Amino acid sequence: MTDHSIQALADLLLQSERIAVLTGAGMSTESGIPDFRSANGLWTKDMTLAEAISIDYFRYDPRAFWTSFKDIFSIKMVGHFQPNKGHAFIAWLEEIGKQVTVLTQNIDGLHQQAGSRNVVELHGTLLTASCPACGAVHGLDYIKAHDVPECHVCREVIKPDVVLYGEAVPHIEFAMECATQADCLMVLGSSLEVSPVNYIPVAAVENNVPAALINLTGTRLDRLFKHRIAAGIGQTCETLRQAIEQSTG
């Protein structure tokens, strides 16, 4: 991370009225939430991750599914994590008058907790679960209180409001539209390995939207980005904020 790269990105953000922000798991690791792709749990013993949290497994054995699901996502800890400086920076961009749309792959709700008002949860949320039979929605406290949560209305096993493997990603067309119509796109903490979300920066650049990537490691799509900063998100965003404040001060 150089002063030049920070200032160049700060200038881009200052010049942009509509900012689309795509965030991945690396956005929340600084809040203490592990990237489940590198975690060890029940699914490594007898099945792949994709099998353990798939819609097919939920339908086949919803009770066993919930055991795996709660282990993988440390469901008992959900709600105790706090937004970090990266989340705060995105919310701050709204405070200074930018039109910010957050397109997040994360399911932890930390963007909303930080104050972002326009958040598109591409992979759903851990904070609620719904009944496949009657549609009743159940909150996090209810989910935590039951090893296998059943609908309080009709007693069916409820399904987490997370996009499981084998399910379509909702809002993807809207997300593409937001990215392609923005003045700039920032990608924070995503490996850009998961489809169809990884097509968002491709579509943006094809529509001449300047794109920036902040990620600790490289991605297969690095070539797309006009600005790329290989560093931690929190400190980078704090430095960006300082650069923007100095430029407008």
Residue 10 · residue 244 · CB < 8 Å? yes
Query: Does 74 share its domain with 91?
Result: no
123 catalytic residue (yes or no): yes
Q: What is the pLDDT of residue 156?
A: 96
Query: Does 198 share its domain with 231?
Result: yes
Query: Does 174 share its domain with 219?
Result: yes
What does pLDDT average to in each consecutive run of 10 residues of the chain (249 residues)?
A: 86 97 94 64 56 93 92 72 96 98 95 97 95 96 94 96 94 97 97 94 97 94 95 95 91
In angstroms, the CA 56 to CA 52 distance is: 9
Q: What is the pLDDT of residue 76?
A: 59
Could you tell me where the beta strands, DSSP code E, fall in 61-183? 99-104, 119-121, 124-130, 137-139, 159-162
Residue 211 · residue 205 · CB < 8 Å? yes
Please pick, among 87, 111, 123, 138, the residue that the annotation labels catalytic: 123
Residue 1 · residue 166 · CB < 8 Å? no
Q: What is the pLDDT of residue 71?
A: 82
Query: Does 131 share its domain with 235?
Result: no
Q: What is the pLDDT of residue 62?
A: 95
CATH of the domain at 110: 3.40.50.1220
Final residue of a domain: which of 141, 162, 183? 162
Tokens encoding 23: 């965030």
CATH of the domain at 136: 3.30.1600.10
Query: Does 102 share its domain with 200?
Result: yes
Query: Does 70 share its domain with 109?
Result: no
In angstroms, the CA 95 to CA 91 distance is: 7
Query: Does 19 share its domain with 59?
Result: no
Residue 190 · residue 22 · CB < 8 Å? yes
Query: Does 19 share its domain with 40?
Result: no
Count up the domains in the chain and report the number.
2
Query: Does 133 share its domain with 233?
Result: no
Please state whether the peptide bond connecting residue 196 to the residue before it is cis, i.e. omega within 30 degrees of 0: yes
> How distant, in Å, are the alpha carbons of 19, 52, 185 from that of 210?
10, 38, 6
Q: What is the pLDDT of residue 44?
A: 45
Residue 142 lies in domain: 36-79+127-162
Could you tell me where the beta strands, DSSP code E, fall in the chain? 18-23, 99-104, 119-121, 124-130, 137-139, 159-162, 184-188, 211-214, 227-229
pTM of structure: 0.91
In angstroms, the CA 150 to CA 137 distance is: 11
Per-residue pLDDT reduced to its tens digit, 12-63: 999 999 999 999 999 998 998 876 554 443 344 556 777 888 999 999 999 9
Q: Nearest-CA neighbor of 93 among 148, 23, 158, 18?
A: 18
Classify burial at 60, counting beta carbons within 10 Å of its beta carbon; exposed 0-12, middle 13-18, buried 19 or more: exposed
Residue 133 DSSP class: T
In angstroms, the CA 229 to CA 9 distance is: 9
Q: What is the pLDDT of residue 2?
A: 65
Q: What is the pLDDT of residue 1?
A: 56
Query: Does 118 share its domain with 104?
Result: yes
Residue 119 DSSP class: E
